[in-house]
Homo-oligomer: A and B are copies of this chain.
Amino acid sequence: MAKSKFEYVRDFEADDTCLPNCWIVVRLDGRNFHRFSEQHEFKKPNDDRALQLMTKCAQTVMQELEDIAIAYGQSDEYSFVFKKKSRWFKRRASKFMTHVVSQFASSYVFYWKDYFKDQQLLYPPGFDGRIVLYPSNQNIKDYLSWRQADCHINNLYNTVFWMLVQRSGLTPVQAQDRLQGTFAGDKNEILFSEFNINYNNEPLMYRKGTVLIWQKINEIITKKIKMPKEEEEKEVEVNRTRTKVVPLHCDIIGDQFWEEHPEILADSS
């Protein structure tokens, strides 16, 4: 009844199908995470708990959603790359974006206590997302390289900045002034000469971010089986192969990673 009279409003919904045969990237960022990290006392410049929680959420997204070939994360952002040939939800952009960010956001709260223990979560955080298409394999590799180069630049800066604040007692404004106009080499030099830190020995997770890929895992698991004509169950060892999301902290700008993992960009749907 009333239904028919109002149903015309459905026609106002626009089609937002993604162009076929393109890589679909959804990148997610924390909303106001500067404030969020202060209120939850994140360690500076890198908080392992926060980075590992981000990765846990990204793993959940990859497992719960379809067709994600690779993900890359650093700081409060994560990029998810859907396969070129994906037909998930008819490639509707809004579906890709909203499923990624909602699954990530609910996971963030759900798994918070596993990483932050006694540190209470004070309020539910927000995330924003965007979607971008990349036609060629070179384009998608360059996209991921762009994010990893960004990670490097930011982390080097943050590492020096927080050393100057935490160890040399500079105010944030003084530290910022000190670093104004410096190049990578200058920052490495400050770290080494003033703080005896070799930047290249800093943890890979900080310097390279986190890459999530699918890997085949061979497991030996123990199953209880009831044999015919026997009364009790018997324990047997079983070989099992499954596919699992694995975090890596390696360079993805050079060719080596892509040569070692040709399946990521392979064209299968």
Please give the distance in Å from A147's CB to the nearest CB on chain B. Answer: 9
Residues in A81-108 with C-beta less than 8 Å from chain B: 93-95, 97-99, 101-108
| Set of chain B residues within 8 Å of A132, measured between Cβ atoms | 9, 12-14
Task: List residues of chain A with CB under 8 Å of any chain B CB.
Answer: 1-3, 5-15, 17, 19-22, 28, 31, 60, 64, 93-95, 97-99, 101-111, 121, 123-136, 139, 142-143, 145-146, 149-150, 152-153, 184, 253
Contact indicator A139/B103 (Cβ below 8 Å):
no
In whole angstroms, what is the CA distance A131 to B14 when docked? 8
In whole angstroms, what is the CA distance A7 to B134 when docked? 13
Q: Interface majority SS on A: helix, strand, loop or mixed?
A: helix
The 10 closest A-B pairs by CB, nearest first: A135-B135, A106-B124, A6-B146, A98-B129, A15-B15, A109-B109, A110-B124, A102-B105, A2-B149, A105-B106
In whole angstroms, what is the CA distance A247 to B121 when docked? 26
Contact indicator B101/A98 (Cβ below 8 Å):
yes
| Set of chain B residues within 8 Å of A13, measured between Cβ atoms | 130, 132
CB-nearest residue of chain B relative to A60? Answer: B124
* A110 CB contact (under 8 Å) in B93, B99, B109, B134: B109
Contact indicator A149/B6 (Cβ below 8 Å):
yes
Contact indicator A149/B106 (Cβ below 8 Å):
no
| Set of chain B residues within 8 Å of A21, measured between Cβ atoms | 12, 134-136, 139
Please give the distance in Å from A114's CB to the nearest CB on chain B. Answer: 12
Please give the distance in Å from A233's CB to the nearest CB on chain B. Answer: 27
Please give the distance in Å from A149's CB to the nearest CB on chain B. Answer: 4
| Set of chain B residues within 8 Å of A20, measured between Cβ atoms | 11-12, 135
Please give the distance in Å from A171's CB to the nearest CB on chain B. Answer: 28
